[in-house]
Amino acid sequence: AKDAGGNQSVFFDARMGQWVAERFSLEQDLRRGIEAGELRLYLQPQVDAHGRMVSAEALVRWQHPQRGLMGPVQFIGLAEESGLIEPLGQWVLEQACAWLGRLRTLGRPLPISVNISPHQFHQADFSQRLQQVLQRHEASGDDLMLEFTEGVVLRQVEQVIERMGFLSGLGVRFSIDDFGTGYSSLSYLKTLPIHELKIDRSFVQDAPHNPGDAALVAAMLSVASLMQLRVVAEGVETEEQAAVFRRHPGALMQGYLFGRPEPAEALLARWLSAGEA
Ligand code: C2E
Ligand code: CA
Ligand code: CA
Ligand code: CA
């Protein structure tokens, strides 16, 4: 038994070592990859009850030279822990604002939502840098929505209020991502300038069949409407799920039923040429 235990722990240590090495090399790759222009901006449409695109969410991808196209779940955590989320997040904001500027110049503005990670938002100069990015690209803050999870806005509340106030002055709006998953009080909805709630996919998926999820979705829709917040249902994949939200005036939807995330150039080329997506 003693032997077996020993072997087990050697095995475990070897695997740990491998994992640490793997992670370290991925971090080096990401550092280099950001510099080398390997990140890609993808966009997913957000549509109204008639299926018309009214805005889009920016979702980052990484075109790794050996591993291929990687989704954010494979590298965002690593980026946050290593500090690389700052250059990564800055790149995404830069790209999104460059498109906002272009779209406005071409007379076809389209609001874009950008995910902001905790470390990124709590950077000392976040607001000033964002203001500079908007100016550099002649983009209007009115076209930019920032998505945060509840965890971000519930820490350092004074600073969050101050920052959101400053950015609101530029027209920038704020969305609560994965709404309903945070187990937190909703009082921040009174104190912060929030404009939108995104109902998490986990509720959307089962709303047509599970009475519990249906009740929670109804509660979230009613909070949104009472507080005059825009609401987006995430991860709508079926007509049945869409039907739940089409009944609610103003509710927007995002999900594979209406369009998968795709390279920004492709989606926006259609938006610019056909007048729709
Ligand atoms: P999220 O903000 O909750 O984004 C929605 C995720 O659901 C996206 O995954 C999207 O591709 C996926 N999705 C959309 N519609 C459907 C659907 O109908 N069914 C299913 N099953 N999934 C759907 P993705 O692109 O892999 O992004 C994962 C997460 O990574 C995002 O979750 C977001 O938290 C984070 N992320 C993405 N881009 C960025 C970024 O630029 N910065 C930061 N900080 N985080 C990002
Ligand atoms: Ca999001
Ligand atoms: Ca989300
Ligand atoms: Ca989600």
- Give the CA count within 13 Å in the CB-facing half-sphere of 156: 12
Burial of 50 (0-12, 13-18, 19+ CB in 10 A): exposed
DSSP state letters, the chain: -HHHHHHHHHHHHHHHHHHHHHHHHHHHHHHHHHHTT-EEEEEEEEE-TTS-EEEEEEEEEEEETTTEEE-GGGTHHHHHHHTTHHHHHHHHHHHHHHHHHHHHHTT----EEEE--HHHHTSTTHHHHHHHHHHHTT--GGGEEEEE-HHHHTSSHHHHHHHHHHHHHTT-EEEEEEETSS---STHHHHS---EEEE-HHHHHHTTT-HHHHHHHHHHHHHHHHTT-EEEE----SHHHHHHHHTSTT-EE-STTT---EEHHHHHHHHHHHS--
| Separation of CA 85 and ligand 1 centre (Å) | 16
What's the complex ipTM?
A: 0.97
pLDDT in tens, the chain (277 residues): 445 555 666 666 778 788 888 888 899 999 999 999 999 999 999 999 999 999 999 999 999 999 999 999 999 999 999 999 999 999 999 999 999 999 999 999 999 999 999 999 999 999 999 999 999 999 999 999 999 999 888 888 899 999 999 999 999 999 999 998 887 788 899 899 999 999 999 999 999 999 999 999 999 999 999 999 999 999 999 999 999 999 998 999 999 999 999 999 999 999 999 755 4
Gap from CA of 202 to ligand 4 centroid (Å) = 7
Establish whether residue 117 lines the binding site of ligand 1, counting it when its CB lies within 6 angstroms of any ligand atom: yes
The answer, yes or no, to whether any atom of ligand 1 lies below 6 A from the CB of 77, is no
Task: State which ligand 1 atom lies nearest to the alpha carbon of 60.
Answer: 38
Closest residue by Cα to atom 4, ligand 1, is 59
Ligand 1 pocket check for 255: Cβ under 6 Å:
yes
